[in-house]
Structure 1
Amino acid sequence: MRRGEILPAKVTRNGYSLDDSKNGRPRIIPIHPRIAVLARRVRFTIPV
């Protein structure tokens, strides 16, 4: 995933859910269920 995709992505049971991808269609990136639990607890930020 690109940095611009990770920050607005929502974590679901099935993976990262993107409402709008580069081609304009919704996209789900599958991740392991245990990783999904951790990802819901951590917020990604990028210092400027």
Structure 2
Amino acid sequence: MNRTMTSLLALGLGVAAYQFAQRNGLMNNRAMKKMRRRVAKAIR
């Protein structure tokens, strides 16, 4: 699996987890920011 494929997969998983957490109110704002930063780093 190449790099773009891997990052796309990771992004997809991240988005799914993000939406799931939002729907269930699992994450507070601090965790959201941290996760967003991690996803941004993964894309680069």
Superposition TM-score tier, normalisation by shorter sequence: 0.3 to 0.5
TM norm structure 2: 0.37
**What is the TM-score with the length of structure 1 in the denominator?**
0.35
Higher strand share: 1
